[in-house]
């Protein structure tokens, strides 16, 4: 994968089996534009289709904020989030990411505040590491807007309705400790440790069999919305996983007391 230049709104860097993707509009606190959304979706799609990439860490440039959501300056100048032909594939992949359908695990690493669409990005990730100095939430109602990326859906599917409604209807922000207590993030650490902790989690994931990881992610994501459907899907996929080359390799490596060599097949 080609590393982006500093002129791009998204920087992509390959670190072994991990793709490090960084929102790159630090002067605008990494506010989301049509271009940035399209580039992020394109990077996720490329990672998903690359058998050598087994996890994505999503972070951001600068130390002011992870992402403050939609670029309100551009919005006031007439920007919309309607797909353009240039980024059609990227937008489709971004939409799948927000729905939890990207097959490769995605770990959010927010070293600063994430609000609005920025918080939605974190909610869409599979694992999340945030700063103990940041603030997080969906303040759209304070600007006459709604969480157009699906923040209300993601909160409503994870929290008791009273808690989800409180966060969405007041627009109040929470700190990292509160976000963790609500089960919305996995780790809360000092800002300078966020990326290292996220990469360590990625290393633990990429050490495992990629096919088993992808199927496990799919089952857990589906179970959160529809447990019976998840059991049905499990029954459909279980045989292929148990018959895979990776399953045979896992057993052989265990018996030989060596590290497994995964192929994803």
Active site residues: 120, 140
CA dihedral 140, 141, 146, 150 (to 10 degrees): 60
CB 170 within 8 A of CB 177: no
Residue the block writes with tokens 């399953």: 247
Phi, psi dihedral angles at 53 (to 5 degrees): -100, 120
Contacts of 210 (CB under 8 A, 6+ apart): 51, 54, 246, 262, 264
Contacts of 199 (CB under 8 A, 6+ apart): 15, 18, 20, 57, 109
Neighbours of 165 (CB within 10 A): 14
């Amino acid at each position: 994968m080609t590393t982006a230049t500093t002129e791009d709104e998204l920087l992509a860097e390959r670190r072994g089996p991990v793709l490090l993707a960084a929102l790159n509009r630090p002067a605008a606190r990494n506010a989301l534009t049509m271009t940035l959304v399209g580039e992020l979706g394109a990077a996720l799609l490329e990672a998903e289709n690359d058998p050598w990439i087994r996890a994505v860490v999503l972070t951001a440039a600068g130390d002011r904020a992870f992402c403050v959501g939609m670029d309100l300056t551009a919005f006031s100048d007439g920007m919309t989030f309607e797909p353009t032909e240039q980024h059609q594939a990227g937008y489709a992949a971004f939409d799948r990411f927000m729905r939890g359908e990207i097959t490769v695990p995605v770990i959010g690493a927010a070293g600063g505040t994430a609000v609005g669409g920025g918080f939605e990005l974190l909610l869409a990730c599979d694992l999340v590491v945030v700063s103990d100095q940041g603030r997080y939430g969906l303040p759209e109602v304070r600007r006459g807007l709604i969480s157009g990326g699906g923040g209300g859906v993601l909160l409503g599917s994870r929290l008791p309705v009273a808690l989800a409604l409180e966060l969405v209807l007041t627009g109040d922000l929470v700190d990292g400790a509160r976000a963790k207590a609500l089960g919305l993030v996995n780790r809360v650490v000092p800002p300078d440790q966020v990326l290292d902790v996220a990469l360590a989690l990625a290393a633990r994931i990429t050490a495992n069999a990629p096919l088993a990881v992808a199927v496990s992610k799919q089952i857990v994501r589906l179970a959160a919305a529809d447990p019976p459907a998840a059991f049905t899907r499990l029954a459909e996929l279980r045989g292929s996983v148990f018959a895979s080359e990776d399953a045979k390799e896992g057993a052989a490596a265990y018996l030989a007391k060596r590290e497994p060599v995964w192929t994803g097949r």
